[in-house]
Structure 1
């Protein structure tokens, strides 16, 4: 069974929405700070258990899946017909949205991974020699921002997919016209 363009768009959408949802939940569950516990010459930061790190990685993973599915969907053959990449990139609007989708995917991935890795770093290295530490967590707002950019990325992949579909149809119409000799029904108006 071949996958249709509609099914690919649903896959891209589902992964993009899951990335968004996990990113927003990760942002909402992230603690503001940890509790410092003084010891002998050290401060141990105790953080409440939260799923921020796991949710951040899940959000990043679904973003990568959405991006991979979006990229693959553009260049797949549908109904046994494939189109050369040069045909797709002749369309300026396709090229623009393709590049925007790539850029927003990279930006979203960095906005999701940066606070997730920072949070994991804070949780694993919670013993500080600085007695003045306030037990920080990852910067607030980055995960939520990454979630929204991830959703934007998904939407840009869908727009690029629609533009690729238009370029495909134009290409196949052009090939069909060449094959039939380019004959078209033309109305001729004669002025008398």
Structure 2
């Protein structure tokens, strides 16, 4: 049962992370390097091709948010109804390090995606310029692509956190079982001594 839950959560993290990556790559490939300046009376109106750059970038950011949520669920979800405290989880140095790195990479990927989507959206919305030498810029080339690879890295790091969490849980519950066996063994030995055996 716990294995099924692990597979489902891991698949969810993988699919959403890959979706975020693909959508950001699509946004990068569809983004024009610049718009077409159209001269008006004392203004330049920038015309941009109708494409799905902003939409794909925004959807990539949404998919990344769900990837991050699924990553947190992977670490803190109580498998088989058995929860492990965060003190026990983060008492394992390797899991703690990968969790912190996953948080940092996820934050960077989200910030890059949002910044690029907002920048691109503003360029398209504020397309009337009073500086006649305007070249109709778009968001920096490569920003969506960089965010795409950060999103993919974040998903991979969350998968590593999932695997490390399963190891920590396994070790923790094995230790609990051994402690219970020792306690029961001591009770039996005490009972045998009291019975005069």
* TM-score using structure 2 length: 0.90
Match of 1:31 in 2: 32
> Which has a greater percent of helix?
2
Larger Rg: 2
Residue 96 of structure 1 and its aligned partner are, at CA, apart by 0.3
Corresponding residue of 2:23: 22
Deviation at 1:82, TM superposition (A): 1.2
CA RMSD of aligned residues (A): 1.4
What is the number of residues matched between the two proteins? 183
The aligned residue for residue 124 of structure 1 is 125
Specify the SS of the correspondent of 1:31. coil
Deviation at 1:113, TM superposition (A): 1.2
Tell whether 2:53 aligns with 1:41: no
Pairs within 5 Å for 1:146-165? 146-165=147-166
Structure 2: runs of 5 or more not aligned:
186-197
1:6 corresponding residue in structure 2 = 7
Per the alignment, residue 85 of structure 1 pairs with: 86
1:80 and 1:37 mapped to 2: Cα distance?
63
Tell me how far 1:61 sits from its aligned partner.
0.4
Partner-residue secondary structure (3-state), 1:98: helix
Deviations 1:145-186 (A, max 9, x none): 100000000000000110010000000000000000077xxx
Q: Which residue of 1 aligns with 2:64?
A: 63
Q: CA deviation at 1:121?
A: 0.1
- 1:109 and 1:181 map into 2 onto residues whose CA distance is 49
Runs (4+) of structure 1 exceeding 3 A deviation are none
SS in structure 1 at match of 2:79: coil
SS at 2:182's partner residue?
Answer: coil
- 3-state SS of the aligned residue for 2:38? strand
Structure 2: how far apart are the matches of 1:115 and 1:160?
28
**Distance between the aligned counterparts of 1:84 and 1:114, measured in 2?**
36
Q: TM-score, normalised by structure 1?
A: 0.92
Which ranges of structure 1 fall in alignment gaps of 5 or more residues? 184-192
Shift of residue 92 of structure 1? 0.3
Secondary structure of 2:46's aligned partner:
strand
Listed one character per residue, the Cα deviations across residues 29-77 of structure 1 (whole Å, up to 9, x for unaligned) are 0001111111111000011111000000000000000001101121111
1:186 alignment partner in structure 2: none
Match of 1:188?
none
